[in-house]
Structure 1
């Protein structure tokens, strides 16, 4: 049955809506990219969250992460263009393979204590991560219906961060009776590699945007192809785009705090097995945070712009409270006055406060990043544009992370690290408010734009009102 070529509109809508769980629906595709990220960056997050990559000395992990985020900064920006040229399958398969190599480099380091392999693997992972997150950003922000992007972002974030939850259980279970051990065992790294390999294979199930059909019968994009010259030109324009410039502080801040939280909160305050347990709750908190902010950004108010402003205000208030709690906690220890390692079974009430703080950091991370992704998704609706926007976001984010890991390597005072993290996130809120006020269309205006651009198709992907055509 063709959609858009006449006939009973009500029966047409019924045909499409009854097929929500079809393979080429946005829901299924967002779930699939969530599972890919569950297996690859989700497991990487669990490994990083151990503090020092699961090693007693974080130097190798810090240097590997510096190499990682340096190349990530470049390929994050280029990733959107590469995705538009290669499509999702080739982009994601090559990207996911680098995660397996990275986990393997720490298995090697466990035996030989040579940083070279880990640093080289980190640099390659930066290339892969840039490609993966540009592809993920394009899929997550362009495939869903415009008025449900917050819901789909929270769905993706929940599936993705379940990887961190499961990944946290791996070192917790395998190192449960090794609470005083210096580093995690080989089985921990092998477990991560198995999940990452599964993610690489699963990436082959992702469809290109031209084959994904929304429930109303429209495709996700009307642009059929791209070229190298087009991508070079469009990516270059991003550095002069006022929308992207307003995003820079939020982008820089959004991964800058990881080195502080993983190495200097979880890594310094807790013993090995407790760090694994903490990560289960850290990434679990991300699931709760993403669902909460996603609901607020899609359903709280009728006006889309109002929802964005309220979402930013909620994250700003909650973030200020959490960082204030972190400030109070940080006054208790420093590099020169290291704390006694806490254990979830043996430390009693002393464990509760730092544990709740680390949980809250995970909650804030998901809410902050989901909010930024929602704003990016509200700036456009086609996958080509959003892949470039997402790539720019990840590129700037990774540049900040590269600096942050070296800041920690150089033993910058912990209180100074916390204050810088708190300041960076605080600066980003008013700029995001300006961006929402000036660039985010309300639902009425958005419907007028999307109704002009929509290309109705049937649930099986057959167009009813003409071909896809060239970009106009």
Structure 2
């Protein structure tokens, strides 16, 4: 293929579509509350299993990608998403959640590796002044998957309100996720990828299992990674409350799909909007970080304040027959707008977090480890949050926990932003798709 195929932007777009079809579909499924089931217990336990293995393989993911390359790790990981979605068909027919919970644990392995590979591509391929834009472009494509995944249950269940998604929705998810896995093979080896200025994303770099093990251990002694830890932990914790205790508890099944169209759609808006701030050349990089922090701080406090008001209106949720339909404009308007702002807030938070990590280095191997640490600690928080809901912890207590955790993350978030330098000290280095690049192996695949 021509040089455009090997451009950094093309590769970010390809990995964006992989995530459109795999994690995007998973997000849409999760966003319906309880994996689309009337009883969310199995979905909550599956998510606990998922995020528990994700903790380990998120942290290890960067090392695995450095050793095995991006194409085959993403290809294999994509099928774990299809297995998880397919497990709900079995659940629909048997009521036995064991397979779904096991599939969740397997998905945690695949997701940890996939997100490490995705993050490495997204934050190490662009030049420093382009990182916010590349993150936003990825986030827009990725969240198109969530939008499509919201359209599917909305359309297929439009005339049905059984409380659970039909087999047809799950089958559609499986097909799309398998396509995403195969699309991973379309990625070019990093050794062949070039930026718009003609520079390669890969210079000389060597790695081994021993070196990766040592570098992973160093992450837990790195002051900047420890500073990011509260932000990492909090960054998926809020999904449980938003998906299960707002969307899942207050709306009927077709309206959950309707809501997710806008939840994920406005994620694209939020990420793209903040990218202009994060990449503006008119401000020093640290100032951009402080302003972005202020935006995230204001938006999230507004979200949790609005959530508290909504909780006080519907403290026990709503029974199945009384759940809100999108056509009931008097009841639906406020809660739907709040849920949309939850999506915007998530996009601002995640884009900001990725930008911070990308600002710490330009080293592809190092960034793969940083992203793995971020996703692993993020999943640690997610595992706890899903299990709290599975154990029927009161929704108000979950809401308070989210607000408190966000407040705790604020000082350390500011510390990491304060530590950002105008230019990263590391050289642009990375690995080839087979895990090792040297001066005579720049075309390794």
TM-score band, normalised by the shorter chain?
over 0.9
Aligned to 2:413: 432
The answer to whether 1:362 aligns with 2:346 is no
The answer to whether 1:349 aligns with 2:330 is yes
Deviation string for 1:157-213 (max 9, x for gaps)? 0000000000100000000000x2131111100110111011001000112322211
**Is the CA contact 1:224–1:468 (under 8 Å) kept in the aligned structure 2?**
no
The answer to whether 1:441 aligns with 2:437 is no
Aligned to 1:235: 216
The answer to whether 1:288 aligns with 2:266 is no
Aligned to 2:144: 162
The answer to whether 1:194 aligns with 2:175 is yes
Structure 1 gap ranges (5+):
1-18, 456-465
List aligned pairs for 1:145-294, cutoff 5 A: 145-178=127-160, 180-294=161-275
Looking at structure 1, the residues matched to 122 and 333 of structure 2 have their Cα atoms a distance apart, in angstroms, of 36
The answer to whether 1:75 aligns with 2:57 is yes
**Alpha-carbon offset, residue 259 of structure 1:** 0.9
Please, what TM-score do these two structures have when normalized by structure 2? 0.94
**Alpha-carbon offset, residue 117 of structure 1:** 0.6
Looking at structure 2, the residues matched to 295 and 280 of structure 1 have their Cα atoms a distance apart, in angstroms, of 24
- Greater shift, 218-227 or 374-383, is seen at 218-227
Aligned to 1:310: 291
Looking at structure 2, the residues matched to 173 and 454 of structure 1 have their Cα atoms a distance apart, in angstroms, of 46
Looking at structure 2, the residues matched to 367 and 223 of structure 1 have their Cα atoms a distance apart, in angstroms, of 34
Looking at structure 1, the residues matched to 172 and 317 of structure 2 have their Cα atoms a distance apart, in angstroms, of 35
- Greater shift, 75-84 or 405-414, is seen at 405-414
**Is the CA contact 2:194–2:201 (under 8 Å) kept in the aligned structure 1?**
yes
Match of 1:376 among 357, 366, 369: 357
> What SS class does the counterpart of residue 325 from structure 2 fall into?
coil
Looking at structure 1, the residues matched to 367 and 281 of structure 2 have their Cα atoms a distance apart, in angstroms, of 24
**Is the CA contact 2:22–2:78 (under 8 Å) kept in the aligned structure 1?**
yes
**Alpha-carbon offset, residue 395 of structure 1:** 0.3
Pairs aligned (count): 432
Looking at structure 1, the residues matched to 441 and 287 of structure 2 have their Cα atoms a distance apart, in angstroms, of 34
Looking at structure 2, the residues matched to 167 and 227 of structure 1 have their Cα atoms a distance apart, in angstroms, of 39
Looking at structure 1, the residues matched to 33 and 318 of structure 2 have their Cα atoms a distance apart, in angstroms, of 18
Deviation string for 1:227-285 (max 9, x for gaps)? 10010000010011000000011100010011111111000100010000000000001
> What SS class does the counterpart of residue 313 from structure 2 fall into?
coil
Aligned to 1:13: none
**Alpha-carbon offset, residue 300 of structure 1:** 6.7
Deviation string for 1:296-331 (max 9, x for gaps)? 111173311111111111111121112111111111
Aligned alpha-carbon RMSD (Å): 1.8
Larger radius of gyration: 1
**Is the CA contact 1:210–1:224 (under 8 Å) kept in the aligned structure 2?**
no
Looking at structure 2, the residues matched to 77 and 169 of structure 1 have their Cα atoms a distance apart, in angstroms, of 33
**Alpha-carbon offset, residue 338 of structure 1:** 5.5
